[in-house]
């Protein structure tokens, strides 16, 4: 009987411990320091979000409130007065705060983003600019891309960045508990809520993609090289169908009635989305192709338009040639980062051989 009683107490205390670990809609405040965001994260939310919201407030597209309670609205003129008196700027905030509600059980965590506040520090103390309600800003955040570097994905909206939780933050308040002076407790609460064994509802999983722009570098000494073939066939087509040339931007440079000279394709730039599978295979989705004729840039055109030219080489279409990449090419841009020519080969090797969240590290150290 004593054994059964002890076993019953063990079950009871275990059940109570699990119940104690569960909670519903507990307010949580997160602190993001602009200087603590590693570039391998792909984006710097506290560096970009305040400036974006600041512009919306200035354009009267978004309210700035005094606090999360939203007792009074802060006008843009009042915000400017705060900036002037403190010698600071909200658009260059060093400290971004996220207000959230957390709910968690043994198997699952839910979080809801409520809003944002912005703080700078001066020699005279803390400067707080106000509070932005996430629901009021949602339409803007969900439709506007945030700037990402080479380590980030091809496309990312502000809302996706916010809900990805892929940034460095400290949990500084949980419920009524202030955790600024309790880092171990802060880490414990955060890690219990967002560990790999739990399903996290509402989190955005950032895809393994890149927005890549490159130029084809044809081998003019090899008439069978596919980069040379592609450019030659494009050139032949435009000379035989000059109305297409004028329709895709040629009319900006030449009069279609009087210009009769040969058209020479001098450069081709391709914009693609690259996606890496879990097994390391890369798929290419062509977004646009930009032709330069007589060294003059034409309009970007879709691969569908290029395909309508019916260009074939050894039973391969233009799309096949571009996707197979049996030609030399030079990277020009990855996401929002333009690539210097001396570094182009390093970046290409990083995409071929290394983790896509560590591209900049490969280029820096190898």
Model confidence pLDDT, tens digit, residues 15-50: 334 434 699 999 999 999 999 999 888 999 999 999
Residue 91 has what DSSP assignment?
G
Task: Report d(CA 52, CA 91) in Å as an integer.
Answer: 8
350 within 8 A of 237, measured Cβ to Cβ: no
Who contacts 252 (Cβ-Cβ below 8 Å, separation ≥6)? 296
- Asked, for residue 172, whether it belongs to a domain, the answer is yes
* Same-domain check for residues 242 and 118: no
Q: What number of other Cβ atoms are within 10 A of residue 140's Cβ?
A: 17
Residues facing residue 210 across a β-bridge:
274
What are the tokens at 324?
């197979």
CA atoms within 13 A on the CB side of 231: 28
Residue with tokens 């391709």: 270
Domain count for the chain:
2
Task: Report d(CA 117, CA 330) in Å as an integer.
Answer: 43
- Asked, for residue 9, whether it belongs to a domain, the answer is no
Q: What is the pLDDT of residues 319-336, one digit of tens each?
A: 999 999 999 999 999 999
What are the tokens at 298?
């034409």
- Asked, for residue 4, whether it belongs to a domain, the answer is no
Per-residue pLDDT band for 197 (boundaries 50, 70, 90) equals: confident
* SS3 category, 256: coil
- Asked, for residue 45, whether it belongs to a domain, the answer is yes
- Asked, for residue 152, whether it belongs to a domain, the answer is yes
Domain boundary among 201, 223, 239: 201
Instruction: Show the domain range for 36.
Output: 21-201
What are the tokens at 326?
């049996």
* Same-domain check for residues 176 and 232: no
Task: Report d(CA 97, CA 31) in Å as an integer.
Answer: 5
Residue 342 has what DSSP assignment?
G
Q: What is the pLDDT of residues 140-181, one digit of tens each?
A: 999 999 999 999 999 999 999 999 999 999 999 999 999 988
- Asked, for residue 224, whether it belongs to a domain, the answer is yes
Domain boundary among 184, 201, 218: 201
Who contacts 289 (Cβ-Cβ below 8 Å, separation ≥6)? 268, 269, 270, 271, 300, 301, 302, 303, 306, 322
* Same-domain check for residues 100 and 165: yes
* SS3 category, 301: strand
300 within 8 A of 250, measured Cβ to Cβ: no
Q: Quote the pLDDT of residue 40.
A: 86
Domain boundary among 181, 201, 221: 201
- Asked, for residue 347, whether it belongs to a domain, the answer is yes
- Asked, for residue 7, whether it belongs to a domain, the answer is no
Q: Quote the pLDDT of residue 237.
A: 97
151 within 8 A of 358, measured Cβ to Cβ: yes
Q: What is the pLDDT of residues 48-106, one digit of tens each?
A: 999 999 999 999 999 999 999 999 999 999 999 999 999 999 999 999 999 999 999 99
Residues 190-211 as b or e (16 or more Cβ within 10 Å = b): beebbeeeeebeeeeebebbbb
* Same-domain check for residues 225 and 349: yes
Task: Report d(CA 25, CA 257) in Å as an integer.
Answer: 70
Percent of the chain with pLDDT over 70: 94
Q: What is the pLDDT of residues 124-148, one digit of tens each?
A: 899 999 999 999 999 999 999 999 9
């Amino acid at each position: 009987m004593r054994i059964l009683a002890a076993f019953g107490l063990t079950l009871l205390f275990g059940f109570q411990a699990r119940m104690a670990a569960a909670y519903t809609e507990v307010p949580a405040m997160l602190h993001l320091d602009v200087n603590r965001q590693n570039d391998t994260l792909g984006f710097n939310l506290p560096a970009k979000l305040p400036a974006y919201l600041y512009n919306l407030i200035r354009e009267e597209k978004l309210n700035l409130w005094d606090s999360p309670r939203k007792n009074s609205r802060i006008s843009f003129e009042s915000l400017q007065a705060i900036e002037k008196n403190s010698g600071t700027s909200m658009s260059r905030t060093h400290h971004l705060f996220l207000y959230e509600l957390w709910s968690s059980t043994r198997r699952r965590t839910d979080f809801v983003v409520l809003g944002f506040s912005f703080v700078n520090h001066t020699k005279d103390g803390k400067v707080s600019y106000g509070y932005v309600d996430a629901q009021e800003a949602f339409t803007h955040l969900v439709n506007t891309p945030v700037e990402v570097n080479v380590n980030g994905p091809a496309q990312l909206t502000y809302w996706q960045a916010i809900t990805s939780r892929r940034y460095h933050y400290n949990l500084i308040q949980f419920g009524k508990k202030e955790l600024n002076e309790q880092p171990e407790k802060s880490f414990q609460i955060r890690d219990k809520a967002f560990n790999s064994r739990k399903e996290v509802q509402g989190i955005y999983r950032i895809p393994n993609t890149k927005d890549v722009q490159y130029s084809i570098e044809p081998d003019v000494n090899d008439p069978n090289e596919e980069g040379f073939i592609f450019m030659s066939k494009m050139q032949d087509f435009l000379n035989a169908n000059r109305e297409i040339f004028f329709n895709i931007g040629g009319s900006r440079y030449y009069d279609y009635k009087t210009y009769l000279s040969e058209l020479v394709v001098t450069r081709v730039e391709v914009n693609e989305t690259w996606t890496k599978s879990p097994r390391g295979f890369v798929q290419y989705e062509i977004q646009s192709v930009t032709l330069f004729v007589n060294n003059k840039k034409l309009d970007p055109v879709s691969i569908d338009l290029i395909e309508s030219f019916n260009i074939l080489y050894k039973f391969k279409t233009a799309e096949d040639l571009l996707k197979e990449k049996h030609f030399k090419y030079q990277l020009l841009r990855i996401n929002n980062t333009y690539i210097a020519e001396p570094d182009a080969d390093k970046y290409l090797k990083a995409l071929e051989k290394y983790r896509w969240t560590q591209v900049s590290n490969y280029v820096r150290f190898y």
